[in-house]
Structure 1
Amino acid sequence: MTYTAPNVFTTRPTLQGTFGMTASTHWLATACAQAVLERDGNAFDAAVAGAFVLHVVEPHLNGPGGDMTGVFVTASEPDTPRVLMGQGPAPQAATIDHYRSEGLDLVPGSGALAAAVPGAIDAWLLLLRDYGTWELPEVLAFALGYAREGHPILGRVVATIGSVAALFTEHWPTSAAQWMPNGHLPHAGDLVTNKAWASSLERLLAASADSAVVTREGRIDAARWEWREGFVARAIVRFGRSAHRHSSGTDHAGVMTLVDLAGFEASIEEATSVEFRGHTIAKTGAWGQGPALLQTLMILDGFDDERLDPSTALGAHTILEAQKLAIADREAYYGDASVPLDYLLSADYAATRRALITDQASQEFRPGIVPDHAPYYPVLRTEYSTAALSEQGAGASVGVGEPTVAAPTRAAAEPEVLSTGEMRGDTCHIDVVDRWGNMVAATPSGGWLQSSPTIPELGFCLGSRLQMTWLEPGAPSALTGGKRPRTTLTPTLVLKDGQAVTALGSPGGDQQDQWQLLYLLRTIVGGYTPQQAIDAPAFHSTAFPGSFWPRTWEPGGAVVEDRLGEAVIEQLEQRGHRVTRAGGWALGRISAVTRDPQTGLLQSAANPRGAQGYAAGR
């Protein structure tokens, strides 16, 4: 170890205890999940309860019509990380030819044509059925109460609604009815309800209460069936048949069918992992971006510790360059397809990539060469959002994209919609560990209130994950009916000596793994505590095509928090990085829980940026 955590003030302590720990992006979700632990629920009961609360209290960041991925271990098999796959596929009729015939060259960032089959609810119910212990009514009681009786709305939610008010009023009246009752914006702190979603939850519970179903598992499956084939599926398809405004500035109808909705079931998959400095890092497969973090770690593993310190110019430069190489491979090879992960994660391949890193910032898009696999080179757009949208009008695309990070030309402590309509902000995350050793990290997202019109009888809208696909035949992430879009959702599990020791994750689209990488380096190599690592200055690269519409890139681009220090920032600029200063506390949304298998000590920590994420435990 050649660098250590600086002796600086942290915003809050790393919580410690032995009973149970929770951390999430909203204090109400954290409190509800912790309440489940206090009533002898396990980590999976708690995570599901907290996740349904996140749908209600962070509707600008996720919703029931969205998707999620999780990674977890059970107390009975602490050495076996698993992936909870809640990423729905493209509808069968979502074809490149159809979208091209609609006059589109990119999948829109909002509207029903951007929607994959909703996957989050089925995934959470699968986790509860197979690994939880509670009955469904007890788990959903928290979210149902907030939806029916109200919760204090965040200022950020109000700001998001305000930014899309014209879109709602002019084009999405059902969204205006839910979020702007009587034509007025709510005020921060107002008690806001979603009675339609509350009624939907009650109907799901009624389906699970059928007296003919005699097992807990059967009752949960009854709710899953009602979601996939019952009143929810019928309402989604019926509503989607009407044309409405998309981020393209044009009107289109959706293509989702009852067969699409009935055909998707969430699943449990094996995790993909690599070894780094005596730790096993577990992620999703290459249908998500998770293995790009693993590739980055493999590249960095060949450097001395001093080059892995994110707080120095040398370390930041090395990390940024490694990230560019790994994410270029993500674009070239990843998707719901045959991906040569064994080769991409091999030590020999990492060595060839590592050799490309010099003392100057690369300005190129450089995927590697993999035997028998031709790399895909996406169109590298730098001005699409300005040139295309100026012809459509500033309000044409409001509500697009995943809420991720600060605008590239300003600091952003609050989410915002730029004049071009490009949304910036956050998504959601939750981590839980219980006293038995069950541990889960999960990142729910999509279906935010600005992604498509609200389905009035359901109280939620569909997501926009298909914008991550390309309308280019031959791309590994090309739009294909029945195939999953390559998601950015990418929680992380860390194991040491065959035991899970950390569950973590972050909102942030393309930045999720970049920010988590800094946490891993600072805790594993630098010896930081969890809260120190979360509070420390963050940065990320923008030198690759974005996963979200309008999919532009910035050659050599790097966004940094000012707290990284003027001397470090100047040295990065001298090395050729095109640096954007994002403000002091603008980047990074990590939360984490940890467990020491030898002592049973549990810890939790949460992001202070935005004063919204909280940890709890004892």
Structure 2
Amino acid sequence: MDFTTRPELTGTFGMVATTHWLASAVGMKLLEAGGNAFDAAVAAGFVLNVVEPHLNGLLGDMPALVWPAGDDAPQMICGQGCAPAGATVAHYRDQGLDLIPGSGLLATVIPGAFDAWMLMLRDHGTMSLREVLEPAIHYAEAGHPILARAAGVIADHAGLFRTEWPTSAAVWLPGDAVPVAGRLFRNPDLAGVWTRLLTEAEAVTGREAQIEAARRAFAQGFVAEAVDNYMRDACVMDGTGARRSGVLTGQDMAGWTATVEPAVQGGYHGWDIWKGGFWTQGPALLQSLTLLAQTGIGDAGPLEADFVHLAVEAMKLAFADREAYYGDPAQFDIPAAHLLSEDYARERAGLIGPWASTEQRPGLVPGLENLAERFVARAARAIPAAKGAGGGEPTMAHLDKREGDTVHLDVVDRWGNMVSATPSGGWLQSNPVVPGLGVPLNTRAQMFWLDEGLPTTLAPGRRPRTTLTPSMARAPDGTRLAFGTPGGDSQDQWQLFLLLRLVHHGMTLQAAIDAPLVLSGHLQSSFYPRGSEPGALLVEPGFAPGAVEALRGRGHRVTQADPWTLGRLTAVARGADGLLRAGATPRLMQAYAAGR
């Protein structure tokens, strides 16, 4: 038996895998209390708001794939809020901007995560609003042992909080002191928000009526009023070092709700794979797989240079198309069928050669060639990947404590219901705390461009093309999987490696998660300042002897990563026989799976 850092969990009752042990324990608690996977996911998601505040928040974003046991395919719940009505290119240009800052009020879109969780609970859950909220209220009110990295982020930003963002200082620097890692940290304002939501919801009778009342209180009631009141007068330091006001209003929040849409399906060696739509980066994983189907990657060992080279070169092509053609299909005619077609993949696969490409090479889609040309021109002007002030999810330094990131959770229950969700945004370092709410706004608008005529041009009511990208799959034997990871542009890189090792090498979930990962810096970052490092490749230790030198010999600009520093993958599965499995990464030493 191959060594793994942890056992792959097996059982028949339920499995929960998240990026924090407290969230996993809470999700399992709700399964034990008779709830289903959707109840458990909602409760775990709210706990992640509390215990990983540097990685996600109540006013952030959240796409989730949901797969009810009796359905043949999952659906996507879109908790990605749109750009506000006042978010026009002209207004942002008038502020002296060429790029949207990585932090600050102009980087904010409508908060979407809460409404998406409520939609999931209403349509698929069985438990009451109180049952799913009480664990998060407890940890916000009574305290949780704050993570070392969360305390580190606060320490790094303490000066900014004291001098520029005093509402953040009041929450994150209790007693004007940086929290001590491992000691109890409380956020009574956040606990108060959820408690008031419960109070207003429980003024009406009936489970669904209470959920709807909470949605109204959030989007049209006191939460939206707090945001609106703050945004009217706030003028704060953003990621460029200038003070600017935002454009989000309570009316923007009142006019938006989470939606449900079909997941986008792809296939690979008899497997079915589902991702979010082209408003996410998810289809880039499907494109990568369709490209790799034209290669001999299945003949390469999972730790060999050939395996890494082919996967990375396929991703470079797929992610170039992401930059040229992806965006909100509700506002732009995305050439989805063309990009996902086998004919297009066969044409593009010929570009994968024995040497590492250092070019950005989007395909030429008939009638939209100008989008490819404009991306290549943008990429030529891009500065090397670098951190913005409070900017966003990291690229070449995944675990740098100064950067915002994301969380993830996967759940499967005894009936076969499954969830894969990737909440993010609203990081404590992204924006000042909204007075009375205990949490800041998100910064997802930094994924828009301020150039007209693109699928990702900033426009009112348009969804940013997010990096958030949960996954689901079905194996030829009927096994269903839910998996994902935080990591910004890296998310589908690491999920691709996980899936290839499952498909071609029959690894267990835990073994595939434990296996070494790489991170390509070639892909243009979705985060301010939108840089890239052509040909750059960060490689964890553990690949086959000689693999790193072989990659260098093929032209990859390899940097050796520290051990256990790339990726935060989690996964759950349900076999056709009803056997459940789960795994979680040892990286960062906080993700855990729980189950029986």
TM-score by length of 1: 0.93
Q: 8 Å contact 1:535–1:608 — kept in the other structure?
A: yes
Alignment of 1:195-274 (within 5 A): 195-210=188-203, 213-241=204-232, 242-274=234-266
Alignment of 1:407-422 (within 5 A): 407=397, 414-417=399-402
- Is contact 2:521-2:532 (8 Å) kept? yes
Are 1:331 and 2:323 an aligned pair?
Answer: yes
- Whether 2:187 is the aligned partner of 1:191: answer no
Of stretches 602-611 and 299-308 in structure 1, the one that deviates more from structure 2 is: 299-308
| 498-507 vs 59-68, greater mean Cα deviation | 498-507
Q: Out of 359, 362, 381, which is 1:367 matched to?
A: 362
Q: Distance in 1 between matches of 2:477 and 2:60?
A: 33
- Please point out which of 119, 136, 149 is paired with 1:143: 136
Q: Distance in 2 between matches of 1:521 and 1:535?
A: 14
Deviation at 1:384, TM superposition (A): 6.3
Deviations 1:415-470 (A, max 9, x none): 333xxxxx26x410000000001011000000010010001201111000000111
Question: Is 1:119 aligned to 2:112, yes or no?
Answer: yes
Partner of 1:564, secondary structure, is coil
On the 8 A contact 2:568/2:588 being kept in 1, the answer is: no
Q: Which residue of 2 aligns with 1:393?
A: none
Change over 3 Å in CA distance of 1:384–1:236 after alignment to 2: farther
Amino acid in structure 1 at the alignment position of 2:593: A
Partner of 1:522: 501
How do 1:432-471 and structure 2 match up within 5 A? 432-471=411-450
AA in 1 matched with 2:400: P
Aligned to 2:63: 69
Inter-partner Cα distance in structure 2 for 1:22 and 1:511? 23
Cα offsets for 1:566-586 (capped at 9, x unmatched): 611111111111112221111
Paired with 1:34 and 1:363, the residues of 2 have a C-alpha distance of: 46
- 1:109/1:247 contact within 8 Å kept: yes
The match for 1:345 among 332, 340, 349 is: 340
In structure 2, the partner of 1:4 is none
Matched, 1:105 2:98: yes
- C-alpha displacement at 1:308, in angstroms? 5.4
The reply to whether residue 171 of structure 1 matches residue 171 of structure 2 is no
Distance 2:179 2:68 in 1: 42
Tell me how far apart the structure 2 counterparts of residues 499 and 440 of structure 1 sit (CA, whole Å). 17
Secondary structure, counterpart of 2:473 in structure 1: strand
State which of 372, 385, 390 in structure 2 corresponds to 1:399: 390
1:155-196 superposed Cα distances (whole Å, 9 cap, x missing partner)? 111011111112111111111111112221111111111110
Q: Which residue of 1 aligns with 2:472?
A: 493
Q: Do the aligned residues in 2 keep the contact of 1:65 with 1:120 (CA within 8 Å)?
A: yes
Q: 2:22 aligns with which of 22, 25, 28?
A: 28
User: Whole-Å Cα distance in 2 between the matches of residues 557 and 538 of structure 1?
Assistant: 14
1:14/1:230 CA distance change after superposition, 3 Å: same
Contact between 2:57 and 2:425, CA under 8 Å: does it hold in 1?
A: yes
Q: Secondary structure at the match of 1:563?
A: coil
Gaps of 5+ in 1: 1-6, 390-396, 418-422
In structure 1, what is the equivalent of residue 525 of structure 2? 546
Larger mean Cα displacement after TM superposition, 472-481 or 485-494: 472-481
Report the AA paired with residue 49 of structure 2. H
The alignment-based identity, stated in percent, is 50
- Which residue pairs with 1:571 in the alignment? 550
Matched, 1:321 2:313: yes
Most deviating of 296-305 and 458-467: 296-305
1:392 matched residue in structure 2: none
Q: Distance in 2 between matches of 1:326 and 1:432?
A: 29
- The answer on 1:617 being equivalent to 2:590 is no
Rounded Cα–Cα distance in structure 1 between residues aligned with 2:477 and 2:464 = 32
Asked if structure 2 preserves the Cα contact closer than 8 Å seen for 1:406 and 1:587, the reply is no
SS at match of 2:192: helix
- Is this contact kept in 2: 1:164–1:398, CA < 8 A? no
Secondary structure in structure 2 of the residue aligned to 1:416: coil
Q: What CA distance in whole angstroms lies between the structure 1 residues aligned with 2:544 and 2:508?
A: 21
CA distance in 1, matches of 2:149, 2:310: 35
Aligned-partner residue type, residue 143 of structure 1: A
Task: Output the CA distance in 1 between the equivalents of 2:202 and 2:296.
Answer: 59
Aligned amino acid, residue 241 of structure 2: G
In structure 2, relative to structure 1, the CA distance for the partners of 1:124 and 1:562 (3 Å cut) is: same
Contact conserved, 1:21 with 1:432, CA < 8 A, in 2? yes
Most deviating of 214-223 and 350-359: 214-223
Once residues 102 and 498 of structure 1 are traced to their aligned partners in structure 2, the CA distance between those partners, rounded to angstroms, is 56
TM-score by length of 2: 0.96
Aligned 8 A contact 1:307 1:314 in 2: no
Q: What is the one-letter code of the residue matched to 2:272?
A: T
Partner of 2:406: 427
Residues of 1 paired with 2:65 and 2:129: CA distance?
Answer: 21
The amino acid that maps onto 1:292 is A
Amino acid at match of 1:119: G
Q: Distance in 2 between matches of 1:290 and 1:300?
A: 16
Partner of 2:294: 302
Moved more, 147-156 or 563-572: 563-572
The aligned residue for residue 583 of structure 1 is 562
**Secondary structure in 2 aligned to 1:507?**
coil
Q: Distance in 2 between matches of 1:115 and 1:580?
A: 34
Query: Alpha carbons of 1:481 and 1:499: their partners in 2 closer, same or farther (altered >3 Å)?
Result: farther
Answering whether residue 38 of structure 2 is matched by residue 53 of structure 1, we say no
Q: Quote how far apart the aligned CAs of 1:309 are.
A: 4.1
**In structure 2, how many angstroms separate the alpha carbons of the residues matched to 1:245 and 1:346?**
45
How far the C-alpha of 1:498 sits from its partner, in A, is 9.2
**Residue of structure 2 equivalent to 1:420:** none
- Contact 1:307–1:318 under 8 Å retained in 2: no
AA aligned opposite 1:216: R
Contact 1:160 1:415 in 2 (8 A): no
Taking the aligned partners of 1:567 and 1:229, their CA distance within structure 2 comes to 60
Query: Aligned letter for 2:14?
Result: G
Quote the offset at 1:8 in angstroms. 4.2
- 1:82 corresponds to which letter in structure 2? Q
Shift of 1:540: 2.1
